[in-house]
Structure 1
Amino acid sequence: MVTPSTLDQMVCFQLYAASRAMTAVYRPLLEPHGLTYPQLLVLVALWDHGPTTVRDLGTRLKLDSGTLSPLIKRLETAGHVRRDRGNSDERTVVVSLTESGLRLRDQLAGLPEQIACAVDLTVDEFHQLIHLLSRIPQKGTTA
């Protein structure tokens, strides 16, 4: 059994500190586009999967509706997404990208390389880090 003797040896602390640092790196890169990091996550999920229900979006992003709904509303106010009632069930809300939201994908295409550079990682190291983090089980973190 490995027992950490300092904060710097705790994986959970390193992940927490890295998460805060990454969010800080994203902030000045997203500000010119009027976006926050959580809003970017919503956009990326929609770029990857197309129109989706709020429920499915919450599951994908590991966010509850109380956190996700204000993000979607701000993106809608900015003109990047649209919310529509489902055809078969009016309680279902489908979120889709607008032309503005689609254009942002092209405008932010260089973001991964900018982030890798900002944290002094090569692109290969950046991809390796993503791979290693994806191996950590996501149990208990769904909305």
Structure 2
Amino acid sequence: MTDAPRLDRQVCFALYSASRAATAVYRPLLDELGLTYPQYLVMLVLWENEPRGVRELGDELGLDSGTLSPLLKRLEALSFVERRRSGEDERRVAVHLTDAGQALSGKASRIPQRLADAAGLSPRELEQLRETLGKLTAALHGAH
């Protein structure tokens, strides 16, 4: 069975393993902030530019409303975000950072460097990896 697929040659397994390893490095860092990894991703988007519509957040993160709504509810319970209905369109809900949510960004600012240090890759290698993964993701989204 020389043509049988091998686990160690599967890109999907390498991605899966790398994702689990990265999440394991993130976990204690995010525990210090009181965030889960998906909540951290929401906060990253909001720190870049807020307010954001709920639909806009879902589109950017690739999350449906059934997944995003509980995340936002929990972030709101933690007093990091507020959801507000638009005065122009009651159906539209915008997510705003609270002062506590803004302040959390300073505490989170060291997280990317800590992951880079744990990865043992140069800044250029990490950037190349991110670019390659971005290309792979775009291609795979276009393939179905």
TM-score normalised by length of structure 1: 0.90
The answer to whether the Cα contact below 8 Å between 1:47 and 1:102 also exists between their aligned partners in 2 is yes
Please identify which structure carries the higher helix content: 2
**Structure 2 residue 123 is the aligned partner of structure 1 residue 84:** no
1:1-143 to 2 correspondences below 5 Å: 5-136=5-136, 137=138, 139=141
The answer to whether the Cα contact below 8 Å between 1:113 and 1:123 also exists between their aligned partners in 2 is no
Higher relative contact order (CA 8 A, sep 6+): 1
Residue type at the aligned position of 2:84: D
1:23-76, Cα deviation, whole Å (9 max, x unpaired): 111000110110111000000011112111100100000000010011111111
Q: How many residue pairs were aligned?
A: 138
Q: CA deviation at 1:4?
A: 7.7
CA RMSD after TM alignment: 1.6
The answer to whether the Cα contact below 8 Å between 1:80 and 1:98 also exists between their aligned partners in 2 is yes
131-140 or 25-34, larger mean C-alpha shift:
131-140
Q: Distance in 2 between matches of 1:4 and 1:90?
A: 57
Q: Indicate how the Cα distance of structure 1 residues 105 and 63 shifts in structure 2: closer, same or farther if over 3 A, else same.
A: same
Q: CA deviation at 1:102?
A: 0.9
